[in-house]
Amino acid sequence: MVSALVRTILVTGGAGYIGSHTVLQLLQQGFRVVVIDNLDNASQVALIRVAELAGHNGANLVFHKVDLRDRHALEDIFSSHRFEAVIHFAGLKAVGESVQKPLLYYDNNLIGTITLLEVMAAHRCKKLVFSSSATVYGWPKEVPCTEEFPLCATNPYGRTKLVIEDICRDVHRSDPEWKIILLRYFNPVGAHPSGYIGEDPCGIPNNLMPYVQQVAVGRRPHLTVYGTDYNTKDGTGVRDYIHVVDLADGHIAALRKLYEDSDKIGCEVYNLGTGKGTSVLEMVAAFEKASGKKIPLVFAGRRPGDAEIVYAATAKAEKELKWKAKYGVEEMCRDLWNWASKNPYGYAGSPEDGSN
Ligand code: NAD
Ligand code: UD1
């Protein structure tokens, strides 16, 4: 177990979906946490709730509304804290938008990361955990996807993940003092079991379960199922859904690895998934069961860029991070519904305040 007595972790993008759940776990484990987030895709309410959920450890959370590309602000923050490590979530993540606005994605995700790495190096903070994605496997030739599979990008968002992974490998090669863990997330779903924090996407959700959630609370009339002719059990796409609390735990495991196995770690990559594939229709059925709500469906053609079946090989993370997902789709849907039914308009609280 990591002794977290004096450890301060910088979390970029910590007000967002995965970040807020990870910050809570860090606080509960006794870490001090400094979050920077420009709140482009998040609400500060998430962090207020995280601090409340963390009880007396909530006092160990500091928030700065800062854009990662603002080097002066970043320098100031690094000058006023001594960070043991950085968990870097901040980035834009909407695939469709990245196709429309590639320069925005390259600027935000790449320049943001380069600025962060430069400031970290200048302050001799050289331990990093980075949010990569299963998107780097594209349409895999076989499943489960192991970390050694060939990588590709099918859109600018995915390309930023590939490039940042390469930047991290180069940075480590140039200076072996860097200890970097790249985490390739599969499909995060669900919410903290309290129903107090969860996913609150701005605008129309791109991902399956946030969309289902909005149908269930009456914000959207139906779910469009993209593709019914895949070579899968029921013709719909198969993915590896992972509970966001398990994902947050994976970050603690990665941090622990950076500290405890520091000599063995260079720049290492791990999948964070469950190793199980679930189809769109199976997910909808699990959600209907958990919520008691009927989700009206409209069947449509395939969504461009979508793969047929993607799920993770989990052996490397299990062996080296000693981490394994605990929850299944029932728990994901139960906790998603608990969050959605208590917060139908997310953190905004009402349709007027929220982004529809
Ligand atoms: P999110 O949008 O909820 O969180 C990202 C946070 O980063 C937001 O709070 C946003 O305001 C902030 N941010 C963006 N650009 C910033 C900048 N320049 N400066 C400061 N803050 C900035 O997304 P999430 O789902 O929590 O994802 C976190 C990370 O994990 C992202 O890098 C994402 O690409 C990656 N990821 C997410 C998924 C997923 O399905 N959610 C899957 C794989 C990988
Ligand atoms: C998408 C992104 C991927 C990103 C991942 C996690 C694309 C092409 N890929 O992947 O880059 O890493 O999210 O953020 O956008 N589905 C529907 N109806 C919907 C939404 C989705 O049927 O309204 C289906 C999809 O066709 C897919 C499954 O649900 O079969 C999961 O979709 P989604 O949640 O968007 O995740 P990914 O496709 O894995």
pLDDT digits (tens, 9 = 90+) for 292-334: 999 999 999 999 999 999 999 999 999 999 999 999 999 999 9
List the structure tokens of 93: 């993540």
Average pLDDT over residues 187-206: 95
| Distance separating alpha carbons of residues 180 and 176, to the nearest angstrom | 10
The answer, yes or no, to whether any atom of ligand 1 lies below 6 A from the CB of 253, is no
Measured from the Cα of 199, ligand 1's closest atom is: 3
Degrees, nearest 5: CA angle 347-351-356:
90
For the full predicted model, state whether its pTM sits above 0.95: yes
Length of the chain: 356
- Say whether pLDDT at 4 is over 70: no
CA of 73 to the centre of ligand 1 (A): 20
Q: Is 105 in the pocket of ligand 1 (CB under 6 A)?
A: no
Sign of the alpha-carbon dihedral angle for 96, 102, 105, 106: positive
Q: What is the mean pLDDT of residues 225-252?
A: 98
Options 157, 230, 270, 311, the catalytic residue: 157
Q: Which residue has the higher pLDDT, 70 or 354?
A: 70
User: What whole-number distance in Å separates Cα of residue 12 and Cα of residue 3?
Assistant: 22
Ligand nearest to the CA of 105: 1
274 lines ligand 2 (CB under 6 A): no
- Give the type of residue at 327: Y
State whether the beta carbon of 67 lies less than 6 angstroms from ligand 1: yes
d(CA 255, CA 85): 8
CA separation for the pair 331, 337 (Å, rounded): 10
Question: Which ligand lies nearest the alpha carbon of 11?
Answer: 1
* Residue of minimum CA distance from atom 22 in ligand 1: 90
Cβ of residue 69 lying under 6 Å from some atom of ligand 1? yes
Whether residue 270 lies in the annotated active site: no
